[in-house]
Structure 1
Amino acid sequence: MSRFIPLTFAALLLASCATEPLTRDTGLATPTAFKAPVTSETTAPPLAKKTGAWWLIFSDPVLDDLQARAMTRNTDLEIAAARLQQSRAFVRQARAVQLPQVNAGLQSSRGSDGGPKASTVHALGVDLDYEVDLFGRLSKATGAAKLDAEASAELYRGAQLLVSAQVAETYFALRAIDEDRAIVNETLTAYRETLKVTQRRYEAGDVAELDVVRLQTEVSSTEAELKALDRQRAQIENALAVLVGDIASTFTVQASVWDAQSWSHAVPLIPAGLPSELLERRPDVIAAEKTMQAAQKRVGIAKAAWFPRLALTASGGGASNELGDLFEDAARSWSLTGILAQAIFDGGQRKAATELAEGDLAVAFAQYRQSVLVAFADVENQLSDIDGLAGEAKTQGEALTAAQRALDLSQSRYRHGYVSQLEVLDAQRSYLRLRRQDLSVRAQQYQATVRLIRALGGDWKA
């Protein structure tokens, strides 16, 4: 045993040379505040810790059901979950390598050494192999696998967040189409009633044929718009079916107008929080950081290959012509071996492996830095969209009020014979266009709110 002490002491001295490098600074200073305007008001309550069910703030049972189905049946999430399972298996595999490996075997052979009689020999053996982790190569491999598993867990959480955001955005688009169809259908009904009245007046000789033709044109074009909306709704519904893992042929969401929804009265105001909190919540940033740390450990693994390996091997067992005599003292044998091995020449393999690991680390570092840049840009974009859409919604509402007033005045003037039907049609077209634009802006506000929640990592603080 005394011979192993100097060897072990020397190994510990060399171990410090095989450690992986420290995490490099990204060179990016975390801002103290976001550039885009941030609301000081908050109407969305903070989420319950670790629930991740951010969509509950909309209090929509249909949306809740769609999200629940997506979380259990979406194929992208199934793939991410399978990769997470694989990464956790790699951790268990790496840990198992650090433990002694024990094998046992029983062998029976019958033969002759040239004499007239054959004999049978039974042998029972147990072998134990164990590598002493002198330079932390095995522990670093386990640590790297664990970091990979943690990165996979964050990627799975990120996939959940992305899918839930896509479901919500698609759902709001579907509800906007339902409302748009209702608006166009309402206008079409009004055009058809006006056309009936105008045809009777034309038959009575009160109006010219041109008035009838103009109204027929409006009816036909509006019917075409309604058919186009039906086609768009079918496509959006089919996209939603894919997200929730259902077959499009059997998947339906009952139509419902915008104002009938519980969330339609006001867009939830989400607090952006501090920029420094973003890097602690975004799954993609956390995953990139874990991947970089795993790459650091693999540099240490590559450097550890330059140093000797110490393997301990033990074996024991017995051999006898009779099975019952295998455990007799005379049949027993054992051995204990320690092997210290050091590669002298490998044609540059270890150097290449170290350079490859350092290259992987450089890539992982650049990807981490990129994820940080993308995270801040993502939040800034969504905050800017929300602020811009709020101003646009206000202006659009004012324009819609004015268009409604203009339509009322045109209809009144037409009934009193002051203007032609052409002016009324122009006012109706303008009012219809502004109603649809107003709806589009409102839908974009909800979708931008969903994107902000996703950009913030699916969580916020009041």
Structure 2
Amino acid sequence: MKLKNAHLVTNLYGVATRRVLYLSFIVQPRPVRSAFTGSEIVQALSQSWRSGFGRGIRLAFYGTLCATLLSACFDVKVPTYKRPDTPEKTAYSKPVVTASETIQPDWWKQFHDPYLDSLVTKAINNNFEFKVLAARIQVAGAQIGEARAGALPTMDLGAGASFEKTTGQPFSKQFNLATQVNWDIDIWGAVEKGVQAQKAEFRATEWDWRAGYLKLVSDVSTTYFQILQFDDQIEQQKQTIATNQKILTIFEGMQNNGLVPKTQVLTQRAELNRLTRELLELRRSRDLADNALATLTGVPAGDFKVPDGHLQKRVQIPVVPQGLPSQLLARRPDLIAAEYRVLEAYDLVGQAKLAQLPTISLTGRGGSASLQLTDLLKSFTFSFLPSINIPILDPSVRAHVKTTEAQTTVVEQQYRATVMSAFEEVENALVNLDSHEKQRVELQQEVAHLSVVAAQIDAQLKEGVISQLEVFETERTLLAAQLALLANHQQLLSDTVTLYKALGGGWPTTTVQNVSKETLQ
């Protein structure tokens, strides 16, 4: 026998016994008086104990005692919460600093684009998936009250009337009134454990909301950057097509004069076909990005279009944080939500273990019946039925304990997986950002060098040293390099967004905190 739990259940048993004896005293009918003497209270308790009513109390008393001793044979120790162990991150690609040096609540405003700011505000107010996360907070808050209600008495009240007429007999009627009060006493704290578990779930849904906020802002920002990149790509693609059209005209003239074979003309026409196809694909991608941004902002797809713009002119690359927050695991909302769900699992295990202990139910019934409605309240009957339930003999209770313990293992592993994913996301964001910054330097130099070449080629053309064809070829090479630099600009913007998201980003605290306070009070 696991007698190590006997002291716990014995102490709680004493509390339960005192509650039952107290109730047995207050329900005895007696004249209304302002106070009772000590001897009168003792006498009343003795009479109740020896009466038929007292026999019911004694049965509950002895039954509870036996059940308590049986409960000592089972493990009813409530587990103490401990954060799941995870592999430690020994070093990051950047130095560690305080969170205030890396994270700002409105971090997207560092891109200095008022239109982006308006899109973020619109998405936060209108995105339906984000509203679902907010509604789940309300649901979790309501479930806290539902869990608390399990420790409160319940009362049912009913009234009825019957009318009967039998041949040869006078008309008869009867009125009745009945009520029942039932109270399952939470003597071991199982209901309270359920309340604590629900509070942990409530906190987890709060952090789900913050994670959703961070994801929504990130999605809006990256989609907006892609749209502006498509606009620049479409414009440069048009210039490339125009240049290649001029080259085709030159080839056709040369072919007419027998200077180049027809295959070279056909090759240039095929190049124009390819460039035109790519232009159509860019326009398609732009329309799809518009539809995606419309959905993010709560507007039907097709009813929203971002005005044409230039990415490099409209959006500035912000200064990237020079370090990483020292408390990364304490900032990321997905990690905090995952840990709250581990805490919830611990509380549910405790509730399941406490459910193995005996429970006491107090049921009071009262009613009245009369042939006349006016006499209904003149006579009233009342009964009090204490009862004890011993769930340790129910195999489903033990099975439920094992289920909750297994579920705890699941959420602990999920927490560890979330931590590892967080480390990977941060490192990937740092690697991408560092690589694209270095590529940007090379691309800027490439564009600068090709610009010098293009200027010299143009000067040579004016002097008649080279042909127009060489000028067009140089322009085409320069446009390709400029297009690569544009793509790099968009990558750096997206990398910055990804890094802020991986580091935990920022979010307004007022709305969700107000919801929390109103619910938990």
Is 1:334 paired with 2:391?
no
Matches within 5 A, 1:102-121: 102-111=155-164, 116-121=169-174
CA–CA distance in 1 between the matches of 2:129 and 2:468? 55
Deviation at 1:91, TM superposition (A): 1.9
Deviation at 1:142, TM superposition (A): 1.6
Cα deviation per residue 1:272-300 (whole Å; 9 max; x = unaligned)? 5324x222221211111111111111111
Distance change >3 Å, CA 355–CA 45, structure 1 → 2: closer
Write the letter of the residue equivalent to 1:26: P
Write the letter of the residue equivalent to 2:94: P
CA–CA distance in 1 between the matches of 2:255 and 2:410? 79
Q: Which residue of 2 aligns with 1:285?
A: 335
Alignment partner of 2:310 out of 234, 244, 257: 257
CA contact (8 A) 1:127 1:313 kept: yes
CA–CA distance in 2 between the matches of 1:200 and 1:379? 55
Deviation at 1:178, TM superposition (A): 1.2
CA contact (8 A) 2:312 2:489 kept: no
Q: Which residue of 1 aligns with 2:41?
A: none
Residue correspondences, number: 447
CA–CA distance in 1 between the matches of 2:252 and 2:348? 86
CA–CA distance in 2 between the matches of 1:191 and 1:406? 19
Q: Which residue of 2 aligns with 1:145?
A: 198
CA contact (8 A) 2:67 2:357 kept: no
Alignment partner of 2:111 out of 58, 63, 68: 58
CA–CA distance in 2 between the matches of 1:112 and 1:392? 99
Q: Which residue of 2 aligns with 1:177?
A: 230
TM-score (norm 2): 0.75
Instruction: Give the SS at the match of 2:175.
Output: strand
Alignment partner of 2:286 out of 233, 256, 266: 233
Q: Where in structure 1 are there 5+ consecutive unaligned residues?
A: none
Q: Which residue of 2 aligns with 1:268?
A: 319
Task: Single out whichever of 165-174 and 85-94 deviates more from structure 2.
Answer: 85-94
Alignment partner of 1:312 out of 342, 362, 369: 362
Instruction: Give the SS at the match of 1:250.
Output: coil
Is 1:372 paired with 2:419?
yes
Cα deviation per residue 1:401-440 (whole Å; 9 max; x = unaligned)? 1111122222333433444445434322221111011111
Q: Which residue of 2 aligns with 1:302?
A: 352
Instruction: Give the SS at the match of 1:88.
Output: helix
Instruction: Give the SS at the match of 1:403.
Output: helix
CA contact (8 A) 2:94 2:322 kept: no
CA–CA distance in 1 between the matches of 2:376 and 2:65? 37
Q: Where in structure 2 are there 5+ consecutive unaligned residues?
A: 1-20, 22-44, 46-57, 508-521
Write the letter of the residue equivalent to 2:196: G
Alignment partner of 1:246 out of 289, 299, 310: 299
Is 1:22 paired with 2:87?
no
Instruction: Give the SS at the match of 1:126.
Output: strand
CA contact (8 A) 2:312 2:486 kept: no
For the aligned residue pairs, the C-alpha RMSD in angstroms reads: 3.7
Alignment partner of 1:394 out of 441, 445, 449: 441
Q: Which residue of 2 aligns with 1:97?
A: 150
CA–CA distance in 1 between the matches of 2:200 and 2:83? 19
Deviation at 1:259, TM superposition (A): 3.6
Deviation at 1:101, TM superposition (A): 1.0
Write the letter of the residue equivalent to 2:482: R
CA contact (8 A) 2:153 2:181 kept: yes
CA–CA distance in 1 between the matches of 2:432 and 2:111? 20
Task: Single out whichever of 217-226 and 313-322 deviates more from structure 2.
Answer: 217-226
Task: Single out whichever of 377-386 and 319-328 deviates more from structure 2.
Answer: 319-328
CA contact (8 A) 1:267 1:445 kept: no
CA contact (8 A) 2:123 2:297 kept: yes
Deviation at 1:397, TM superposition (A): 0.8
Instruction: Give the SS at the match of 2:391.
Output: coil
Task: Single out whichever of 211-220 and 95-104 deviates more from structure 2.
Answer: 211-220
Instruction: Give the SS at the match of 1:327.
Output: coil
Task: Single out whichever of 121-130 and 441-450 deviates more from structure 2.
Answer: 121-130
Is 1:411 paired with 2:431?
no
Q: Which has the larger radius of gyration?
A: 2
Q: Which residue of 1 aligns with 2:8?
A: none
CA–CA distance in 2 between the matches of 1:43 and 1:244? 29
Alignment partner of 1:360 out of 396, 407, 414: 407
Task: Single out whichever of 68-77 and 39-48 deviates more from structure 2.
Answer: 39-48
Q: Which residue of 1 aligns with 2:51?
A: none
Q: Which residue of 1 aligns with 2:432?
A: 385
Cα deviation per residue 1:193-227 (whole Å; 9 max; x = unaligned)? 7777x59997998x956799587676665444433
Instruction: Give the SS at the match of 2:307.
Output: coil
Distance change >3 Å, CA 234–CA 362, structure 1 → 2: same
Deviation at 1:131, TM superposition (A): 1.1
Q: Which residue of 2 aligns with 1:37?
A: 94
Instruction: Give the SS at the match of 1:311.
Output: strand
CA contact (8 A) 1:132 1:311 kept: yes
Instruction: Give the SS at the match of 1:107.
Output: strand
Instruction: Give the SS at the match of 1:249.
Output: coil
Cα deviation per residue 1:102-154 (whole Å; 9 max; x = unaligned)? 22111223458999345433222332111111222111112212222221222
Identity of aligned residues (%): 28
CA contact (8 A) 1:39 1:269 kept: no
Q: Which residue of 1 aligns with 2:375?
A: 325
Instruction: Give the SS at the match of 1:269.
Output: coil
